Structure 1
Amino acid sequence: MPVYIGTVQWQQKMENLPDEFHVLGDSAYPLTRHLLVPYRDNGHLDQLQKKFNKCHSSTRVDVERAIGLLKCKFRRLKYLDMLMELEIPVMISACCVLHNFILQRESDTEPEVDTFDDIGMDASEAVGDGQARPEAEEKRRAIALEL
């Protein structure tokens, strides 16, 4: 059973994040102060919003690929018991430490294997900000202005 960011427990945890921190979400989630989603593309996005969506999507792709590579290397990550919330971060952290240890010991002659096609989401698929609070809109716009 997957743990969704939309659950009450995760929403409460995210609300405790400092203001300068946030989680990137896809268009299935609503925009909140600590959960940044792409702008909805209704055909009227300005250049700033398009740039934000492109940066958001490329960052999410990088994260998804990193997680995918970890899952390929450590198959146990595919079968985590999602009901054991306290154990999940420990297992993922351990796999990251082991992965970094392996990278330090690996030879540079092994070819890198790309196990993914393009995972990204086109910015035109972004539909998740229907009922955003004003402070969440302001934060997303401030970040977009810094890009």
Structure 2
Amino acid sequence: MDYDMIDFVDLEDLDVLETSRQFHRRRLRVNPFEMSDEDFRYKYRFTKRFGEKIVDLLREDLTHDPRGCPLSPELQVVCALRNWARHEIQDDTADLHGVSQPVVSTTCKRVAEILSRMSRRFIRMPATVNEQAETIRKFRNIANFPTVIGAIDCTHIRVKKVNADGGQLYINRKGFSSINVQVVCDADLKIMDIVTRWRGSVHDSRIFRECRLKQRFEAGAFSGILLGDSGYPCTPYLFTPILNPASPQEERYNRCHIRTRNTVERCFGLWKQRFRCLLRGMFGDVETAKKTIVACAVLHNIAIDMREDVFPGEDSFEQPSSREPIAQSYIPNSVRGNIRRRQFIEMHF
């Protein structure tokens, strides 16, 4: 081999190149909250006011990280927001903010963990009598369906293929790996309860059967009922549609049930429109994905409280339910549930 034909790079030149890259990254690392409101919203799909609210909420935890972090709380929050809201690959987020991809990855995990730890402050069922009465009133304004305290359903959040033992259990009926996330929402589309621990192959009815919320309903913690689709059994505290209505009363019940329960479908649409990572899937490991889903639920509720509009000019991701009809024999209604629903229809419809 003719070594004279090969151009060798001087090690000093490599050191100069690396120093230049580090300087370039530091030079790019500016405070994003110094840009205009319009530019901020274009880059992060949320208003600057919302971003400042999240920074204030997380500042203490982000500042006192025992492991240390090269980024300010402001940069950590906007990196996570951009990565989740735009579902942007982390290399692009890193280049925009003058950091490396591993720093963005670590930052997103840290922000997700902190938000998921404080989720009980923002994701909760109405506890007091007044809160429950107000929730029931708002649901009744939709289609005059009385005593509804929440609409329940599940949605599949795609995750990358799980290669560990039991990874096949994450594959859902549509053929891709996912986490089956159970959500209960109110009439304002806020998430009041969320369960993210179940694999994609698990049926919706089992998730509810084994969740703590069911135990609370059975213990009489709530004065209202839940509305669910035919994927759930009818119980005294969870009403489902009548599969074969045989009277005008039952038809009216079904119409009002569908319009009222549709709030959870709209909640999924709005939630996934704000955070495209929920629509297109998670890149990281499953445990990080679960925390990120909860973190996005917390941010979704804060956005609703702040009356944060969805970023304009985007295609709507709200999708009608594509659930396949489920044979009633697989999810039998309880006798008490059928009796309670029949009495309810006779009284109100």
Range class of TM-score, shorter chain: 0.5 to 0.7
CA shift in 2, pair 1:127/1:34, >3 Å: farther
Q: CA deviation at 1:27?
A: 1.5
TM-score normalised by structure 1 residue count: 0.65
In structure 2, what is the equivalent of residue 10 of structure 1?
A: 208
Structure with higher strand content:
2
In structure 2, what is the equivalent of residue 94 of structure 1?
A: 299
CA shift in 2, pair 1:89/1:116, >3 Å: closer
SS at match of 2:223: coil
Check conservation: 1:39, 1:128, Cα contact below 8 A: no
In structure 2, what is the equivalent of residue 39 of structure 1?
A: 242
In structure 1, what is the equivalent of residue 227 of structure 2?
A: 24
Q: CA deviation at 1:140?
A: 1.9
Aligned equivalents of 2:301 and 2:294: distance in 1?
10
Q: Name the aligned partner's letter for residue 337 of structure 2.
A: A
CA RMSD in angstroms, aligned pairs only: 3.7
SS at match of 2:229: coil
Number of aligned residue pairs: 135
Percent of residue pairs bearing the same amino acid type? 19
In structure 1, what is the equivalent of residue 336 of structure 2?
A: 135
Q: Name the aligned partner's letter for residue 28 of structure 1.
A: G
Q: Which of 261, 271, 283 is residue 70 of structure 1 equivalent to?
A: 271
Q: CA deviation at 1:101?
A: 1.9
Q: Which has the higher contact order (CA 8 A, sep 6+)?
A: 1
Deviations for 1:52-83, whole angstroms, at most 9, x for unmatched residues?
11111111223211220121012233447589
Q: CA deviation at 1:89?
A: 4.7
Name the stretch that deviates more: 76-85 or 13-22: 76-85
Check conservation: 1:32, 1:136, Cα contact below 8 A: yes
Deviations for 1:78-127, whole angstroms, at most 9, x for unmatched residues?
44758977875554133221243253xx5xxx79x86547x369xxx786
CA shift in 2, pair 1:120/1:87, >3 Å: closer
CA shift in 2, pair 1:47/1:98, >3 Å: same
1:59 and 2:260 correspond: yes
Aligned equivalents of 2:238 and 2:265: distance in 1?
16
CA shift in 2, pair 1:53/1:28, >3 Å: same
Check conservation: 2:205, 2:232, Cα contact below 8 A: yes
CA shift in 2, pair 1:20/1:134, >3 Å: farther
Aligned equivalents of 1:6 and 1:40: distance in 2?
17
Check conservation: 1:57, 1:120, Cα contact below 8 A: no
Q: CA deviation at 1:21?
A: 3.4
Deviations for 1:5-51, whole angstroms, at most 9, x for unmatched residues?
322x531431321363333221232212333211121xx51111111
Structure 1 portions without partners, runs of 5+: none
Aligned equivalents of 2:223 and 2:338: distance in 1?
14
Aligned equivalents of 2:238 and 2:318: distance in 1?
25
Check conservation: 1:26, 1:126, Cα contact below 8 A: no
CA shift in 2, pair 1:73/1:32, >3 Å: same
